[in-house]
């Protein structure tokens, strides 16, 4: 949700900033801009649209500089226009901002009264003018920034340069992610380390409230004016593989990476058909005490949580609630003693989930309640991982496509591992069942590989969706959340309106939508609900609906007139939702490609939703 990159070096960093923005484009892609300090002035270019538009402008203008900041925007305040694009400049100061300044209207009125002119509709521009105003007292740049930050309310990350300070880059982290890339004789900042991988693999992770001063030679981090130490961490090569390879889109690459990603997730937890001794060992005391689970998440991660609810309750008899974070955080839910609060998040930075977590922690502490918190996450250095008692990494590798694929199936894998662990600790899961599921988990990457081989048949079916405007997805049990997830995938990348329903709900309303023009996707593993699902299919057919069925190869469901069947390899009931994620991902992908949408960066969306 907006991407920041900046740097201070000996060499010109124009190309580094542009390359960094391209790598951050998943965070926002409605406009982009860069400001470099050169010949004692701020040289700025901004363009509406993707980073390539900015790149052409910068190449044409030949702007060079060894100190600079750049930004790719996902509009919150003000339309995606050139004037609203960052960096925002006030006199000699240039600022890039990620997040939201909630009290900007008030600050803006005060600044207008002081004679400042605003050239954008953004909340961000106030920061540039506030710094200019603070500098009037004679304070040096760093001090001026330290003076104005307490005036800002909201969540934000800032990159700041000034044309009179050609060797100083200032970074502020207060609720939005920001990382420092440590180089040799040069240093960088970014919203995501991915942007800086071409220049360094050494990173310093800022904490909330940090203000950092970067020069070519040194990095100093301050908290309320006091110098603090932040360790430098080195990333290994496996984390740094972010190219598209031979795939046309990141999403397709990430779909095909799932067998390997799941293997990685499993390896940290399983030793043969048993759980490893060291797996979540620090959480054992907490797991022993908890009496229920509360999952908090958004979007696709919420769907993963919905599936885990079936597992927690049916497999290990542990009550589990699941709620969308944006609702949970504002409805003052009762915080119950001895609850394990689980945040599920690919990024670990999603604003609503993070706020729900913090609020829960605060309220539990105020009432002296014994709760524990755990994050399931793909980013080891994220805020959620840092702020929960325990974490379980999905180890999926970077996910660049905006539509979540491998992050989702590895979340499910991690959740199943967690269920096994808690069941073992609380002795509510028989050893034989644990061993059976562990064996099925080891086999899972192969089943996923076999499901991926259905690609050609799914591509064939996708042609029948291209002209459609609506679509229904139906499933029962753990396939109900997969129906929701299938509908989310299809709508977000192909822009076809899609709804997911529990198949049993069909006759309570959505059946009214079914006619000759309504494709209905059915998820039909061979489980106890199969016969009931077959009845639901007949209800659709009787109304002229066209069925697209992903069915277990032994389900007995065959293709017939207006019923297209893709046979999915057999899998244990517990793991079926992970396998049935594959055909819905492939279907959405192919439909989107055929409709010519921007698959990796669908309109109006951004990968990491770090603002409300």
Summarize as ranges the residues that interact with ligand F6R (CB under 6 A): 298-301, 345-347, 350, 353, 403-404, 488, 492, 608-609
Residues listed for the chain: 612
Of 299 and 475, CB closest to ligand F6R: 299
Please identify, using beta-carbon distances, which residue of 210 and 492 lies nearer to ligand F6R.
492
Q: Which residue is nearest to ligand F6R (CB)?
A: 299
Q: Which helix (H) or strand (E) holds 439?
A: helix 431-452
Please identify, using beta-carbon distances, which residue of 176 and 353 lies nearer to ligand F6R.
353
Encode burial over 255-269: b for 16+ CB neighbours within 10 A, e otherwise.
Answer: bbbbbebbbbbbebb
Is 248 part of the annotated catalytic residue set?
A: no
Looking at the Cβ atoms of 81 and 381, the one nearer to ligand F6R is 381
Query: Taking the complex as a whole, how short is the minimal distance between the CB of residue 403 and ligand F6R, in angstroms?
Result: 4
DSSP state of 288: H
Cβ(78)–Cβ(68) below 8 Å? no
Identified catalytic residue from 108, 468, 567, 607: 607
Q: Is 377 a catalytic residue?
A: no
Give 132 or 588: the residue with its C-beta nearer to ligand F6R: 588
Residue among 280 and 402 whose Cβ is closer to ligand F6R:
402
- Comparing CB distances to ligand F6R, the nearer of 92 and 404 is 404
CA dist 560 and 358 (Å) reads 53
> Could you tell me which residues come within 8 angstroms of residue 91 by beta carbon, excluding any fewer than 6 positions away?
132
List the structure tokens of 127. Answer: 């920061």
Least Cα distance to 381 among 356, 422, 348, 416 occurs for 348
Per the structure block, which two tokens stand in for 53? Answer: 């538009």
In the bound state with ligand F6R, the residue whose beta carbon lies nearer, of 435 and 605, is 605
SS3 label, residue 180: strand
Going from the C-alpha of 308 to that of each of 66, 232, 482, the distances in angstroms are 50, 36, 12
Which of 7, 358, 431, 68 shows the shortest CA–CA distance to 208?
A: 358
Longest dimension (CA), the chain: 80
DSSP secondary structure letters along 100-126: EETTHHHHHHHHHHTT----SS-STHH
* Torsion (CA) 247, 252, 257, 262 in degrees, nearest 10: 170
Q: How far is the CB of 234 from ligand F6R (least distance, A)?
A: 24
CB atoms within 10 A of CB 510: 17
Give the shortest CB-584-to-ligand F6R separation in angstroms. Answer: 11
Least gap, CB of 257 to ligand F6R (angstroms)? 16
Instruction: Provide the minimum distance between the beta carbon of 101 and ligand F6R in the complex, in angstroms, as a whole number.
Output: 22
Q: Which is nearer to ligand F6R, 93 or 471 (CB)?
A: 471
CA torsion 221→348→379→22, rounded to 10°?
Answer: -80
How big is the CA angle at 181 (ends 169 and 398), to the nearest 5 degrees?
130
Q: How far is the CB of 248 from ligand F6R (least distance, A)?
A: 18
Strand partners, 339: 292
Residue 500 beta carbon to ligand F6R: minimum distance, rounded to whole angstroms: 13
Element (H, E) at 221: strand 219-223
Adjacent-strand bridge partners of 73:
31
Residue 310 carries which DSSP code? H
CB of 398 to ligand F6R, least distance (A): 12
- Closest separation in Å from C-beta 464 to ligand F6R: 23
Q: Cis bond leading into 63, ω under 30°?
A: no
Active-site residue identified among 2, 298, 320, 377 = 2
Residue 346 or 581: the one with the smaller Cβ distance to ligand F6R is 346
Rounded CA-CA distance 579/454 in Å is 12
In the complex, minimum distance from the CB of residue 523 to ligand F6R, in angstroms, rounded to a whole number: 18
What token pair was written down for 311? 């597992």
Distance CA 35, CA 558 (A): 61
C-alpha distances (whole Å) from 37 to each of 9, 41, 165, 191, 251 are 11, 6, 9, 21, 37
Least Å from the CB of residue 485 to ligand F6R: 8
| 456 C-beta neighbours (distance < 10 Å), count | 9
Give the CA distances from residue 194 to residues 22, 81, 189, 199, 257, in Å, rounded to whole numbers and listed in that order. Answer: 10, 26, 11, 10, 18
Taking the least distance from each CB to ligand F6R, the nearer of 429 and 609 is 609
Q: Which residues are catalytic?
A: 2, 607
């Amino acid at each position: 949700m907006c991407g920041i990159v900046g740097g201070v070096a000996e060499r010109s960093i124009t190309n580094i900033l542009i390359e960094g923005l391209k790598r951050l484009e998943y965070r926002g892609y409605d406009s982009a801009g860069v400001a470099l300090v050169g010949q004692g002035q701020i040289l700025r270019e901004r363009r509406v649209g993707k980073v390539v538009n900015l790149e052409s402008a910068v190449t044409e203008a030949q702007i060079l500089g060894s100190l600079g900041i750049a930004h790719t925007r996902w509009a919150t305040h003000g339309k995606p226009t050139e004037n609203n694009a960052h960096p925002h400049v006030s006199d000699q100061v240039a600022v890039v901002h990620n997040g939201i300044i909630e009290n900007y209207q008030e600050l803006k009125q005060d600044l207008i009264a002081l004679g400042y002119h605003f050239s954008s509709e953004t909340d961000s521009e106030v920061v540039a003018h506030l710094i200019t105003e603070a500098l009037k007292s004679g304070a040096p740049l760093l001090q001026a920034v330290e003076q104005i930050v307490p005036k800002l309310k909201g969540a934000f990350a800032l990159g700041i340069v000034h044309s009179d300070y050609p060797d100083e880059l200032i970074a502020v982290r207060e609720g939005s992610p920001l990382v420092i890339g440590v180089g040799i004789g040069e240093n960088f900042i970014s919203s995501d380390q991915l942007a800086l991988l071409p220049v360094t693999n050494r990173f310093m992770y800022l904490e909330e409230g940090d203000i950092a001063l970067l020069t070519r030679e040194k990095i100093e981090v301050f908290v309320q004016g006091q110098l603090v130490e932040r360790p430098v961490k080195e990333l290994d090569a496996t984390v740094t593989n972010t190219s598209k390879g031979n795939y046309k889109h990141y999403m397709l690459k990430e779909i095909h990476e799932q067998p390997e990603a799941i293997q990685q997730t499993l390896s940290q937890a399983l030793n043969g058909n048993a759980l490893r001794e060291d797996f979540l060992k620090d959480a054992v005391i907490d797991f022993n005490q908890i009496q229920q689970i509360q999952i908090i998440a958004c979007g696709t991660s919420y769907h993963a949580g919905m599936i885990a609810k079936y597992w927690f309750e049916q497999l290990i008899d542990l009550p589990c609630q699941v709620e969308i974070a944006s609702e949970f955080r504002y409805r003052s839910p009762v915080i119950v003693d001895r609850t394990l609060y689980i945040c599920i998040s690919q990024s670990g930075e999603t604003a609503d989930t993070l706020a729900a977590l913090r609020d829960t922690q605060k309220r539990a502490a105020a009432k002296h309640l014994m709760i524990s918190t755990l994050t399931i996450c793909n980013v080891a250095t994220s805020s959620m991982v840092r702020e929960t008692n325990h974490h379980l990494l999905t180890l999926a590798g970077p996910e660049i496509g905006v539509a979540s694929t491998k992050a989702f199936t590895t979340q499910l894998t991690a959740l199943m591992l967690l269920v096994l662990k808690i069941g073992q600790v609380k002795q509510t899961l028989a050893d034989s069942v644990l061993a059976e599921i562990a064996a099925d988990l080891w086999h899972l990457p192969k089943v996923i590989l076999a499901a991926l081989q259905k690609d050609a048949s799914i591509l064939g079916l996708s042609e029948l969706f291209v002209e459609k405007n609506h679509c229904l997805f139906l499933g029962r049990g753990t396939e109900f959340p997969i129906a929701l997830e299938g509908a989310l995938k299809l709508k977000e990348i192909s822009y076809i309106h899609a709804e997911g329903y529990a198949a049993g709900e069909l006759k309570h309303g959505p059946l009214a939508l079914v006619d000759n023009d309504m494709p209905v996707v059915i998820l039909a593993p061979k489980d106890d609900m199969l016969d009931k699902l077959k009845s639901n299919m007949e209800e659709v057919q009787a109304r002229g609906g066209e069925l697209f069925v992903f069915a277990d190869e032994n389900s007995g469901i065959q293709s017939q007139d207006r019923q297209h069947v893709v046979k999915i390899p057999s899998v244990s009931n517990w793991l079926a939702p992970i396998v049935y994620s594959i055909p819905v991902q492939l279907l959405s992908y192919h439909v989107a490609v055929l409709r010519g949408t921007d698959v990796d960066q669908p309109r109006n969306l951004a990968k990491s939703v770090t603002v409300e």
